[in-house]
Structure formats: structure tokens, C-alpha cells
Chains A and B, each alone.
Chain A
Amino acid sequence: MTVDAPVAPGAAPKRRARSVTSLTRSSALGLGIALSWFSLLVLIPLALIVIQSVDGGWATFRDTLTNPQTASALRLTVTQALIVTLINVVMGTLIAWVLVRDSFWGKRLLEVVIDIPFALPTIVAGLVLLSLYGPDSPLGVNVANTERSVFLALLFVTLPFVVRTVQPVLMELDRDVEEAAASLGASRFTTLRRIILPSLAPAITAGAALSFARGISEYGSLVLLSGNLPGKTEVASVRILTYIENGNEAAAASVAVILLVVALAAIVLLQVLSAVVARRG
């Protein structure tokens, strides 16, 4: 060995440390483009909404939220979206399971049909729902102008989210792992609870977040069937539109900000929940 041998190991980590903290030219460019794009499309519009909502002073913000009609619309929207999301978590996981684990006649067809609520223009979905569950229902089920119409419409459009997020994860799941659990004495239920669900938790929460976000923002599919009765079946997005039509943009922005906060809170909550379930195992 030569004398300068000890220098090399000392120099190597220094170089390494620098490359972690500073960016190369190409990755700096990439990050720059990504951030500008994100800012233009998301951050700036969102900031504008927030600014607009307090434009008329905090009084407008408070007045809007304490307005019984708006409060009722927000309450209805959030409750229905929550219920629908809960149902989706159970049913979506179940459907994904059936699609991945079982083979049956018509499976390919079902695969395609699942995406229809997602692919359909929402107003078309609204029309479908209206003709199926409206006053002229061929099934004799008339839920028009009731809370249930909101529930049904949300259920319809959010169906694919959990299915489509859980399905690929379930497909990747190693069957060996379940067999290992079985050979160690775990019942089917224990394996499901301690091995399968923790692995699916991130996917289920991602699907739930998408489903909830879609639920609180839905407009097209429920607007026809619900009748938009103030204080009864009017949802937040309809409320925003009404405010804008009446030229009260600050109030519209206030409702929008509330929806934004609710959505963010839901996403954070779901992330925490997912981490807890995944760790519990």
C-alpha cells in the first residue's frame, strides 16, 4: 500500500455527502419544471381561492358558513361522502378480492363494467340514475328529491376507486405469505386481519381518499335526481354555483375553502390510519 491510501477513504464520504445535499444540473432542472408546473396548475389557483374567500373580510366568511342553507349543504355533502366512502372501503375491497382471487364466467365483462361509472360523463350518469330511480322508475323505486338520491349518485360514481387501487396490490400479494401464515397455525380470519389487510391498507386508504374527494365535489351525477332542494338535498357544489350565479364570489370561495380543508383533513387522517393498520399486523 502507498502512503496516500488513507486519503482515499476520507475523500469518498465527503464527495458522497455533497451529492446528497446538492442537485446535479439535470435533476435541478427536473425539479424546477415539476415545481413550476405544480405551482401553475395547483398551488396558485388554490392560493387565489383562499385569498378570495377572505376578500370580503372575515365577516363574509363567517356569515357564509353560518348561513343555515350553506351549513346544511356542507353537512349533507360531508356525511353522505363519508357514508359512501365507508361502504366503498368494504365493498370495493370485496369486489377487488373476487376479481383477483376467483375465476368465474363473465369476469372479463365485470372488469370492464366496473370502470363505467368512472368513464361515463357525470351528467350521463345523472340521466341514467334519474331514469332508473326517478319518478318514472321502471323498478318502482323513486328516490328523487330525497337524501337517498345523493347517496345513490355518490355510490354510483365512486364505485371504481377502491376496487382499482386495491386490485393491483392484491394481485402482487404473495400467496406464499398466506400459506406461511397457515402453516404457522393462523386461521383464515387471522391471516386476513394480520397479514392481508395490513398489506392492503395503503391501497384501501388511497382508494378511500379518492372516493371521499370525489364524493364531496360531485355535481353532475346528482344534480338531476336530487332536485337541489335547499336545506334538504342541496350539496356544497350546487351551493357554490348558486353563490357564483348571484355574484357573491367571496361566499362561493368560502365554501370552496371549507371543502378544501375537509378534503385535506380526510387525506391526512387516512394516511395516519393506514400507517397504524399497516404497523399493527
Chain B
Amino acid sequence: MGIEIRGVNKNFGDFVALQDIDLSIPSGQLTALLGPSGGGKSTLLRIIAGLESSDSGTIEIEGVDATGVPAQKRNVGFVFQHYAAFKHMTVAKNVAFGLEIRKKPKDEVKRRVDELLKLVHLEQFSHRLPAQLSGGQRQRMALARALAIEPSVLLLDEPFGALDAKVRKELRDWLRRLHDEVHVTTVFVTHDQEEALEVSDSLVVINEGRIEQIGTPDDLYDRPASDFVLSFLGPVTTLGDRLIRPHDIDITRYEHAATASGRITRWTRVGFEIRLEVTPDDALRPDPVQVVVTKAEATALQLHEGDLVWLRPRVGADAVSR
């Protein structure tokens, strides 16, 4: 159940957008498709929605084969990055559109629209035009419009990509809460790892048309299957011969069995964090190592720029050996 994707391939001319994609998206969950731009995640989402057709393979939505079914008949809710608002219609009309298409009785449409506008906190804006709303409000309207048709799956294509950082944060908290309320199988595409880790029940990392790894946010963060996943889910640096997260490095001013030693050559304070660059004495590995410590740690360790320090991975640090 949920969405079953089998053997999907898609090429645009010579460009391979998707290659042999097999994926099961469980019912009722919030799944993130995460990956760099141009990696194929949006194409996969559009194929699920029927807005794009795959060259081969099958798509099954809630147990029904949807492969050849046109977008109009898939009963899929789709939310676009740039809202795709019907500009000449009021907010209420936008939300009612899918219901009117389905020829629902007038009073039912009205009741449902009121309900949805309340759900997305736009009830006092029902008579406004989309142009009179902020970006965040427009995207909430688009969400209500997509939910109006009671879709079997809800697909969101970089839904918060066009919003500024603060609104984006608010909206994703809100989306998480909304999903806990509505429980519709939801797939959203993002290139923002923080967003994906924070909001989703499960994550699918897609790169260059292929699935790199599937799992819960914890799985992926703690047990990345490849360098790519490790580096995509957060900052990484090279210590000795392994990739490691900068906050997983132990730093001291006293000599001990360490992987590397060197002087602190760069000191950047960002809020509660201090980002350091340590240039190792090792002639074979002269590339600077990034280390992140908190302000409190730096004070306790009496660290200063130019100090000679010793570095080693913290116990229990997640890393991928090279």
C-alpha cells in the first residue's frame, strides 16, 4: 500500500533523470525526497502525480495501478514551489475548484471550503485574491486546495523553497502538525537537509537519478551508506582518512594519542558556535580540518587562535571509512 514504484526510468534526451527507481512509500507517512538540484527528485514526484510520464516502469497508488492514468484521474494533491494560485479567483474559489470540478452540491462545497480554510488558518482571508496574500499564506491556500479533493496522496514539490527562512521554518513545523492531524500519505521534495530531517518520518536520498539510501532521519544521519549521504546530511570534514562531522572531533591543547595535530589557523564565531580550522603538521595531509565547538567548550579548553592542538574522533562518532 502507499505508493509502489517499480523499475522507473526517465530520460530527457541524453540526460538520464531517473535510473531504475524501485521505491515503496508507506501509507500515512511523511516521506521526504532529498537530494541536490537536478538529481531527479522532482521528476520522480511529477511521475507519481502523472504530470510527467516515465519511459518505463510502473506506479501503484494505494494498491491501484496508476501507470497509464492521466493526472486528472489520479486523485493526487500537488503543491508547487511557486504556489500555482489561480490568480483571478478568490482564496475560497481556489480551494473550491477541485470540488466544483467533481460537481459536489453547493452547500457541501461551502462547508468543506470553510473547514479547510480553518485548517490552514485563512478563514478571514476567504474573499481575498491570491495577490493580496503573503507567500506563506499563498502556499497554505495551495495546500488547502490540494487537500480539498481528499487526495489519496499529497505531493509537495519544494513547497517552502520560495519563502524566506523564518516563514519556511514556521511552515514546516506547521506542515508536521498538519500531517499529524490529517494523516494523508505525503511525499515532499526538498534540497534542504535540515527541513527533511526535521519534518519527515522517512527519507529517500536521491542523487544523479539514483536512490542513495532510504531510512528514518536517525538511520541516515547516524549510519550513512555512502560519503554522499554523509556529506549531504550535514557539514563534513576529513580527519586522517575518514570523513567526519566537525562537531564529532575531540580537540585538546595537551599532547595525547591523536589522529592529527596542528595549529588553529582560523577562528569564526557564529552565535553559540565557534568554527575552527586546524592546519595539520602532517606533510602528507596538509588540508585544514574543520572543527566545531561551543563557546563554553572553547572557554573551558582555553582555546585561542594560533594554539597548537591535538585532534581525534569522538567516541561513538559516525563516520564513513575511506
Binding site for B on A (CB under 8 A): 174, 176-177, 179-187, 190, 194-195, 198-199, 278-279, 281
Closest to B148 in A: A184
Chain A to chain B contacts (Cβ below 8 Å), 21 pairs: A174-B82, A176-B80, A179-B80, A179-B84, A180-B86, A181-B86, A182-B71, A183-B71, A183-B72, A183-B74, A183-B77, A184-B98, A184-B145, A185-B75, A185-B101, A186-B72, A186-B101, A190-B101, A278-B88, A279-B88, A281-B89
| Bound-state Cα–Cα, A279 to B84, Å | 18
Interface size (B, Cβ < 8 Å)? Answer: 30
B87 with A181: CB separation less than 8 A: no
The interface residues of chain A lying within 8 Å CB-to-CB of B102 are 185
| Bound-state Cα–Cα, A281 to B87, Å | 10
Contact of B71 among A179, A190, A281 (CB under 8 A): A179
B126 CB → nearest A CB, Å: 16
User: Beyond A184-B101, A186-B97, is A176–B84 a contact (Cβ under 8 Å)?
Assistant: yes
A180 with B87: CB separation less than 8 A: no
| Bound-state Cα–Cα, A278 to B87, Å | 10
B101 with A180: CB separation less than 8 A: no
Q: Which of B176-197 contact A (CB under 8 A)?
A: none
Closest to A197 in B: B88
The interface residues of chain B lying within 8 Å CB-to-CB of A181 are 86, 97
Is B247 interfacial (CB 8 A cutoff)? no
| Bound-state Cα–Cα, A62 to B84, Å | 56
| Bound-state Cα–Cα, A177 to B77, Å | 13
| Bound-state Cα–Cα, A195 to B130, Å | 14
Is B119 interfacial (CB 8 A cutoff)? no
The interface residues of chain B lying within 8 Å CB-to-CB of A185 are 72-73, 75, 98, 101-102, 149
Is B64 interfacial (CB 8 A cutoff)? no
The interface residues of chain B lying within 8 Å CB-to-CB of A194 are 97
A200 CB → nearest B CB, Å: 11
A174 with B71: CB separation less than 8 A: no
Contact of B88 among A176, A180, A187, A199 (CB under 8 A): A199
Proximity string of chain B (53-86) to chain A, C-beta cutoff 8 Å, 1 when within and 0 when not: 0000000000000000011111111101010111
Closest to A178 in B: B84
B86 with A281: CB separation less than 8 A: yes
A177 with B89: CB separation less than 8 A: no
